Amino acid sequence: MDEKSVQIELHKEHQQALCVLLEEFDRVCKALDIPYMLFAGTMLGAVRHQGFIPWDDDVDVILLRKDYDRLLKEAEQVLDSEKFYLQKEFSEHWPMFFSKLRLNNTTCLEKYHPKDPQIHQGVYIDIFPCDNCAKTGFGRKLQFLASKIVIAKALYKRGYETNSKRKKCFMQLCRLLPNKLFLAITKGGKADSAKVHSFLGGSSSYRKSVYPRKCFLEHTQATFEGKQYSVSAKYDRLLHILYGDYLRIPPEGNRRCKQHAILIDLENSYEQYAHYRDGMVFEIHTRSIR
């Protein structure tokens, strides 16, 4: 088997592992009666491909903040903890502003050098919170700015690497600011506001991170890799906000994976690769899955 064929096979196996994680996440949410939705490229994949976007390598889910908080509090009551690990936001060995469900005894090494060697680095799916927006445009922009400070502080603490002097200076400034204050501002919208936001989600764009609340209140089912999962009943509206003409397949030259990881091992734990990235230099280029 040539190198390209090996990569394609590993990509498919990685997607299969992500499906195992998603099935467990769905089971836990159903057991606890907690609503959630597929989000971003996973939602797009479900609607446009009835499964993964063929060149995708991750799974995203999203919950309204009250449901997200309850999930983090109660999930371990029903989670299969021998096989899975819930990596909670702002926890002892995870300084980030969102959570992940990890597959134990696997490896997913990403393009950074962790400052905490005890960070769980198994294959994962992302779990994002969706927060209430302020009622005014100024208030929403203030929330967006506050979220950037929260994000910069978390990335610095995790071990984010960049060649951008501007980003380095911003992270150095933000690390001196109080996280609790700016997190409260980010989350501090009104429960009766007409809009919600995912500023602590996967997009760096303000426009693509603010949505009508009704998009998160009504759910329907969509097929993803042969199984039914929850998506927004207003998925057309939500996908237009995120991707514009989302039914249009990109030209072949643009169908490239984000390539979150530099190493995937579905048979061995990340603990066996403690020094794998020593001396590596990363040039990180983020791309929309669209």
In this predicted structure, the answer to whether residue 289 has a pLDDT above a threshold of 70 is no
Quick one: pLDDT at residue 257? 63
pLDDT averaged over every residue in the chain: 92
In this predicted structure, the answer to whether residue 288 has a pLDDT above a threshold of 90 is no
Residue-wise pLDDT for 191-223, tens only, equals 999 999 999 996 789 999 999 999 999 999 999
β-partners of residue 219 are 232
Residue-wise pLDDT for 230-270, tens only, equals 999 999 999 999 999 999 988 877 766 666 788 999 999 99
pTM for the complete prediction?
0.93
> 3 vs 10, 11, 53, 220, 228, CA distance in Å?
11, 12, 22, 41, 34
> 38 vs 10, 32, 79, CA distance in Å?
23, 17, 19
In this predicted structure, the answer to whether residue 155 has a pLDDT above a threshold of 70 is yes
Q: Which CATH number fits domain 3-133+195-273: 1.10.3470, 3.30.70, 3.30.460, 3.90.930?
A: 3.30.460
Quick one: pLDDT at residue 162? 80
User: How far does the chain reach from its first CA to its final CA, in angstroms?
Assistant: 30
- Per the structure block, which two tokens stand in for 125? 């799916």
Residue-wise pLDDT for 98-134, tens only, equals 999 999 999 999 988 999 999 999 999 999 999 999 9
Give me the helices (H) in 75-178, please.
Answer: 137-158, 165-174
In this structure, of 12-16, 57-61, 162-166, 168-172, the range with the lowest mean pLDDT score is 162-166
Quick one: pLDDT at residue 281? 82
Domain boundaries, the chain: 3-133+195-273
